[in-house]
Structure 1
């Protein structure tokens, strides 16, 4: 995927980098309307997606994939995190007065026990995240399982970024 296509996807997801409307698309100078062919819906959203692109789609785009690899490189995380796991459509959120893309993903066939939440700000190519492991939420956990929820911050999120990620976690459970 090209940078133009990523800008197009993010524009259609509503990040304000470019605006997409049913009647016309206004893209950054580096992008052309052919870069976005087939992505737009009548309502300006991505075709076939409720809100924005899924994590596995974003991971096909070099600029996002590179930032994601750097984000998780030093952390001891399960393999599903590296490949994207099971995700929901990305959402546009405001953090520190800027639009960010929030992606959420979980362990296939066991979402309650492991999940990752990632914030991406495409203008600065900044990415931060949070990995959560809750063994007590796994289907095979006993009723007397000690609660040892593990939270791993990815990147260097500031206080407002952490709040946004924790807010996403609150609505995941």
Structure 2
């Protein structure tokens, strides 16, 4: 209970919303919906991408195709974590995103695969990885685990 109180009313409201979303699978949060849901998410994401060079528009605007997000913990901190991919090219362009519970920090792992990768080749050996937002080792592991949870990733 102390943990929820330390998050403040915004965190408590998000926690209640996440609990409700978990109960109702049709209303779960998605990465591409966060900027419109709260200006703090938009501001935090804009701060992250402003220092990055040569990012595609779908990443800058978080406008790709997204899966439902989940609340995960890393080093006693809560994060809202989800996947976004370039619309119509999820196999080759992915982004794994983590927002801190207080919406003050965002981190991401951008994964790209060559367009002509043969189906029998292991994607993990041919991918390029780019970290956004200077995540520490724990956040890197958290996002890397999301990538490795994909059954098509080997």
Task: Check whether TM > 0.5.
Answer: yes
1:108 corresponds to which of 70, 82, 87: 87
> Which residue number in structure 2 is paired with residue 71 of structure 1?
48
> Partner of 1:109: helix, strand, or coil?
coil
Contact 1:9 1:53 in 2 (8 A): no
Shift in Å at residue 11 of structure 1? 3.1
Shift in Å at residue 48 of structure 1? 2.1
Cα distance in 2 for residues equivalent to 1:95 and 1:109: 31
Query: Could you say which structure has the greater relative contact order, defined with CA pairs below 8 angstroms and 6 or more residues apart?
Result: 2
Residue 170 (1) aligns with residue 148 (2) = yes
Between structure 1 and structure 2, the one with the greater Rg is 1
TM-score normalised by structure 2 residue count: 0.75
Contact 1:95 1:161 in 2 (8 A): yes
> Which residue number in structure 2 is paired with residue 56 of structure 1?
32
Gaps of 5+ in 2: 1-8
Deviation string for 1:27-59 (max 9, x for gaps)? xxxxxxxxxxxxx57xx646723xx31112211
Matched length:
136
Aligned Cα RMSD in Å?
2.6
Deviation string for 1:118-160 (max 9, x for gaps)? 111132612111111111xx4xx15399x64211111121111
> Which residue number in structure 2 is paired with residue 149 of structure 1?
127
Cα distance in 2 for residues equivalent to 1:46 and 1:73: 35
2:18 corresponds to which of 13, 21, 26: 13
TM-score normalised by structure 1 residue count: 0.68
> Partner of 2:102: helix, strand, or coil?
coil
Gaps of 5+ in 1: 15-39
Contact 1:121 1:127 in 2 (8 A): yes
Deviation string for 1:92-112 (max 9, x for gaps)? 111111211002100111101
Cα distance in 2 for residues equivalent to 1:5 and 1:97: 18
